[in-house]
A and B are shown apart, each in its own frame.
Chain A
Amino acid sequence: MSTSTNILDIKNIEVMYDNVILALHDVSLKVPKGKVVALLGANGAGKSTTLKAVSTMLASERGKVTKGSIDYDGTSIDKQNPSQMVGLGMVQVLEGRRCFGHLTVEENIISGAYSRKLSKGDINQELEKIYTYFIRLKERRRSQAAFTSGGEQQMIAVARAMMAKPKMLLLDEPTMGLAPQLVAEIFNIVKELNQKEGVSILLAEQNTNVALKNSDYGYIIETGRVMLDGTAKSLLSNDQVKELYLGISKKGRKNFRDVLKEESLTKKKIN
């Protein structure tokens, strides 16, 4: 793949928090334009840290990219701040939805257009377009966001991000704590946004099965390192992924490190 077809290109980044805590050791990842890429891994693997490194939200948590490079749309992001990144068309939907609880659903969504200079008429037009994807939100437009359900709040968060007219969305665990039916609904919307609006998507998920079924490509990270990557199809049929992430288990192995340990043991035996 040449660089021009990748909207995001992360090369060997290392991330530290507070100058001491090493959160990412070595993560490289590419998102081709117009594709959906899944970033998979357990709690604390470094998914959120990777996304925040990309959206430059790391700085507000005293984190820093100490090695490697991140290129978005052909330019390096190391001098940008989050509101500049939004201006460049990259919006992150933070983990845990993070709606503005005291604002109405509609005010939440409109706040997403803050970075754009739009007239009232333009905003209403955009709003109507957004509501075609999030029909449920239109019915609840006047409610206070804090009183909506978890699924609705996730939709608000994605709708709000879409109001910024992004070229690329970073979704951090969009299905966390949602019922299976809502998980499917959220992913349907994400797929639709990807196909109709041409938004490239990088999503972090623990829900490996659903995430891979709705993505083009996947990366699996563990303790701050990429352990495996491949097309979504190949990962879904990969025996190790099946065993470690999809719960179709044979032995007591729990992660890729265990697999590597076993492999080196058997190698030693053969030698």
Chain B
Amino acid sequence: MVDELLFFMEVLVGGLLAGTMYSLVALGFVLIFKASATFNFSQGAMVFFSVLAFCGFMQDFNIPFVLAFIMAALLMVVVGLCTERFVLRPLMNASEDTVLMATIGLGYVLEGLAQAAWGVEVRRLDLGIGDFPVPWIADNLKLFISALDITAGVVAAIMIIGLFLLFKYTKIGLGLRAVADDAGAASSIGIPLKHIMLLVWSAAGVVALVAGCMWGARAGVQFALVDLALKALPVLIIGGFSSIPGAIIGGLIIGAVEKVLEVYIGPFFGGAIEGWAPYVLAIFFLLYRPEGLFGEKIIRRV
């Protein structure tokens, strides 16, 4: 009995921690959705682009870890800058659907650029954190929990607290929340949409880099990271597209549910239900609570 409970706890905690990685990806979507009411289809490509650049800097140019990370983060700010200047500004008065299509295009550009610059082969990313159970926890709590999962959880928590403080207590954060509520009214009192767009795209870029590092360390830095963004979709549907707490809780729910279902219900379906269980959950949410747990009542379909 105790063993069973311990095993359940292990599955649950592992799922929750893996869920924080989904939260990280979803966070990037939420940032951009808040400011421009657009689902950013290029978020997955941003994850791939940023982490491949990071690996490229380290492995091709032998730049030390920290410096390479900073360079990759700056590169994402430049990407944000170019996106604002060459994609968003010309489409300022276009409909939201037009912007949505533009983000799909942007995604392809980023995927292409990344592979042109750094090649197509899978790269290994070693963060110095192993993807194996932490001995101390295994000995004392009898739970086998991966060090990488714990790191991802801590990093996600730090990012989330950082973003929360940025939005709540800084001037530009106030500007962002104002734009998220009513962009027209914000511009009527002189809040420059340009700066806000730049902020959110850069922030989303850095979040993508962090998410990319976590996923890259586990599964290798490869093109499949682009599709990872799709996993963020059920997360967003459950949490609500415009809510940062929603992205976090949604990620945790998806992570926990998919692991628990995989272990306990998976065998009845012949296993591997991890891949589709979150989408089933998302469908239930769409049917019964389309705005998500924390989203605003009006939701856009994407």
One digit per residue, 1 when the CB lies within 8 angstroms of any chain B CB and 0 when it does not, for chain A 51-72 equals 0000101011110000000000
- Whether the pair A55, B188 counts as a contact (CB closer than 8 A) is yes
Q: Does A161 contact B (CB under 8 A)?
A: yes
- One digit per residue, 1 when the CB lies within 8 angstroms of any chain B CB and 0 when it does not, for chain A 79-99 equals 000110111000111100011
Taking the closest CB of chain B, its distance from the CB of A193, in whole angstroms, is 16
* Cβ-defined contact, B188 with A115, below 8 A: no
> Quick one: which of B171, B174, B180, B188 contacts A82, CB cutoff 8 A?
B188
Question: What are 21 A-B pairs at a CB distance below 8 A?
Answer: A55-B188, A57-B187, A62-B93, A83-B190, A85-B190, A87-B190, A91-B189, A92-B188, A94-B185, A100-B186, A102-B180, A102-B181, A103-B174, A111-B175, A111-B178, A111-B186, A112-B189, A114-B178, A114-B189, A115-B189, A115-B191
A15 part of interface (Cβ distance < 8 Å): no
In A26-72, the 8 Å CB interface with B consists of 55, 57, 59-62
- A167 near B: Cβ within 8 Å? no
* The one of A59, A82, A103 that contacts B93, using a Cβ cutoff of 8 Å: A59
Question: Which residues of A are interface residues toward B (Cβ below 8 A)?
Answer: 55, 57, 59-62, 82-83, 85-87, 91-94, 98-103, 107, 110-112, 114-115, 157, 160-161, 163-164
Write out the residue numbers on chain B whose beta carbons fall within 8 Å of the beta carbon of A85. Answer: 190
Judge whether A110 and B93 touch: CB under 8 Å. Answer: no
- What are the residues of chain A within 8 A of B182 when measuring CB–CB? 98-101
8 Å CB contact of A114 from B92, B184, B190: B190
> In the bound complex, what is the Cα–Cα distance between A115 and B195 (angstroms)?
12
> Are A60 and B191 touching (Cβ within 8 A)?
no
Partner among B175, B181, B192 whose Cβ is within 8 Å of the Cβ of A101: B181
Give the A-binding residues of B (Cβ under 8 A): 92-93, 171, 174-175, 177-178, 180-182, 184-192
Decide: B190 and A102 in contact? CB cutoff 8 A. no
When distances are taken between beta carbons in the complex, the residues of chain A under 8 Å from B188 are 55, 57, 82, 86, 91-94, 98
Which residue on chain B has the smallest CB distance to residue A146? B181
Contact A114 B174, CB 8 Å, known A60-B92, A101-B181: yes
A267 to B: closest C-beta gap in Å = 46
B184–A111 touching, CB < 8 Å: no
A110–B187 CB distance below 8 A: no
Decide if A82 touches B177 in the complex (CB within 8 Å): no
Known: A57-B184, A112-B189. 18 other contacts (CB 8 A): A57-B188, A60-B184, A82-B188, A83-B190, A83-B191, A86-B189, A91-B188, A91-B189, A98-B182, A103-B178, A111-B174, A111-B178, A111-B186, A114-B171, A114-B189, A115-B189, A115-B191, A163-B189
Identify the 8 closest CB pairs spanning chains A and B, nearest first: A86-B190, A115-B190, A98-B185, A100-B181, A83-B190, A83-B192, A114-B191, A111-B178
Q: Tell me how far the C-beta of A117 lies from the nearest C-beta in chain B, rounded to whole angstroms.
A: 10
In the bound complex, CA of A100 to CA of B185 (Å) = 8
- Tell me the complex Cα distance, A93–B189, Å: 8
Using A62-B93, A107-B174, A114-B171 as known contacts, say yes or no to A82 and B185 having CB atoms under 8 A apart: no
Q: In the assembled complex, which residues on chain A have CB atoms less than 8 Å from the CB atom of B185?
A: 94, 98-100, 157
The complex places the Cα of A160 from the Cα of B186 at a distance, in Å, of: 10
